[in-house]
C-alpha cells in the first residue's frame, strides 16, 4: 500500500512540475513560425518573402512567432527568451525585432533589439500594436493584422540609419549552384583533362577551376557562388586522374552519376525554413505588449 502511495505521489509531483514548466522556445525554422496553424501556407510564404526582401535591402531582420500560449510565463518573459535563443538581427548591429503572438492568451508583443530601440521605441511599438494589429485581430483577421503590423515595423525601421546589408551569400542554399554541378563535373573531367595535359596537373587544375568559376559568375551573377564553383572544379580536376577511367562496373571506385550517397543533390529543395537563421543580434527587453 505504501508503494502504491509513493508511486501516486511521484506521478502527482511529475504532473505538477510539467504543468508549471515554461513553454519551450520553438525552433527557428523560418522568418514566420506559426505553431497554431493560424496562417495559411500562402500567408506564410507571402510574409516571408516580404521580410526576406526587406532584409536584403536594409540588412535588418524581422521575424514573426505565433504560439497558443506562453503560460505560466508572461508574454514579456517568453519573448525575451525567444529573442535570446533566436538572436534575430546582425551581430554588433542588433537590428532585429520579433512580433510574438500568444493566440489563446490574446496577448502579443513586439520585442526590439538594442540597435532598433531608437526607431521602434516603446511608444512606437505600442502604437503599432494598438492602431494597426489589434483592430484586425478583434475582427478575426489574424493574417491581415500580422502582415500589416510587420509592414509598419519595416517602414519604421526604414527610417533608421543602419549599416548596409552584407552581400555575402548563404552557402546553405545549394539550389543556386545545384544545376551547375553537372557542368562543373563535365568540365573538370573533359576540359580539365586537356588543360592538365597542356599545362601540367597543378596549373591545368587551376585553369579548369578558373574557367568553371567564370562560367558560374556569368550564369549566376554571384561572386561567392562563382568562387565555390571554381574551387569544386579545381578539386575535381586535380583528383580526376586518381580514379579509374573505366565506365563499367568496378570493384574500387569508379564514379557513378546515379550515386547519391554523401553528395550534393541538385534535386533537393531549399526554402526560407532551410536557410534563414538569426545573425547574432542582442535584445535588452525593449518593445511593447498589448492584448485584444
Single residue among 204, 225, 243 that ends a domain in this structure = 243
Residue 36 has pLDDT above 60, yes or no: yes
Range of the domain at 105: 23-166
Give 289's Cβ-side CA count (13 Å radius). 12
| 95 and 138 together in one domain | yes
Residue 57 has pLDDT above 70, yes or no: yes
Query: Taking the model in full, what pTM does it have?
Result: 0.60
- Residue 106 burial (CB count, 10 A): 14
| 147 and 76 together in one domain | yes
Single residue among 120, 141, 166 that ends a domain in this structure = 166
Cell matching residue 219: 550564369
Cell matching residue 250: 568496378
| 99 and 189 together in one domain | no
252 part of a folded domain = no
CB 292 within 8 A of CB 138: yes
| 143 and 187 together in one domain | no
Question: Which of residues 60 and 16 earns the better pLDDT score?
Answer: 60
Contact residues for 116 (Cβ-Cβ < 8 A; gap 6+) = 60, 89, 94, 95, 96, 97, 157, 160, 286
pLDDT for residue 184: 62
| 126 and 224 together in one domain | no
292 part of a folded domain = no
Average pLDDT for 9-23: 48
Average pLDDT for 62-74: 96
CA distance 66 to 246: 56
pLDDT for residue 14: 43
pLDDT for residue 142: 97
| 29 and 128 together in one domain | yes
Q: What is the CATH number of the domain that holds 39?
A: 3.10.310.50
| 67 and 152 together in one domain | yes
278 part of a folded domain = no
Average pLDDT for 255-268: 34
Single residue among 222, 243, 264 that ends a domain in this structure = 243
Amino acid at each position: 500500500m505504501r508503494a502504491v502511495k509513493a508511486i501516486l505521489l511521484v506521478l502527482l509531483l511529475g504532473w505538477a512540475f510539467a504543468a508549471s514548466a515554461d513553454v519551450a522556445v520553438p525552433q527557428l525554422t523560418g522568418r514566420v513560425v506559426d505553431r497554431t496553424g493560424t496562417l495559411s501556407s500562402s500567408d506564410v510564404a507571402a510574409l516571408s518573402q516580404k521580410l526576406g526582401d526587406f532584409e536584403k535591402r536594409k540588412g535588418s531582420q524581422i521575424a514573426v512567432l505565433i504560439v497558443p500560449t506562453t503560460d505560466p510565463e508572461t508574454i514579456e518573459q517568453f519573448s525575451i527568451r525567444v529573442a535570446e535563443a533566436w538572436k534575430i538581427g546582425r551581430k554588433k548591429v542588433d537590428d532585429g525585432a520579433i512580433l510574438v503572438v500568444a493566440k489563446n492568451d490574446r496577448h502579443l508583443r513586439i520585442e526590439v533589439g538594442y540597435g532598433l530601440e531608437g526607431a521602434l521605441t516603446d511608444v512606437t511599438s505600442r502604437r503599432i500594436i494598438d492602431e494597426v494589429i489589434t483592430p484586425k485581430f478583434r475582427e478575426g483577421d489574424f493574417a491581415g493584422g500580422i502582415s500589416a503590423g510587420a509592414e509598419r515595423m519595416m517602414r519604421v525601421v526604414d527610417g533608421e540609419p543602419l549599416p548596409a546589408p552584407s552581400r555575402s551569400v548563404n552557402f546553405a542554399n545549394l539550389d543556386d549552384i545545384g544545376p551547375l554541378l553537372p557542368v562543373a563535373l563535365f568540365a573538370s573531367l573533359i576540359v580539365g583533362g586537356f588543360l592538365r595535359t597542356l599545362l601540367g596537373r597543378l596549373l591545368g587544375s587551376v585553369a579548369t577551376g578558373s574557367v568553371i568559376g567564370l562560367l558560374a559568375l556569368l550564369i549566376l551573377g554571384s561572386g561567392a557562388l562563382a568562387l565555390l564553383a571554381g574551387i569544386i572544379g579545381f578539386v575535381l580536376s586535380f583528383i580526376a586522374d586518381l580514379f579509374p577511367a573505366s565506365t563499367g562496373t568496378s570493384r574500387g571506385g569508379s564514379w557513378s552519376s546515379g550515386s547519391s550517397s554523401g553528395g550534393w543533390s541538385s534535386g533537393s529543395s531549399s526554402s526560407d525554413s532551410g536557410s534563414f537563421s538569426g545573425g547574432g543580434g542582442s535584445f535588452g527587453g525593449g518593445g511593447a505588449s498589448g492584448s485584444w
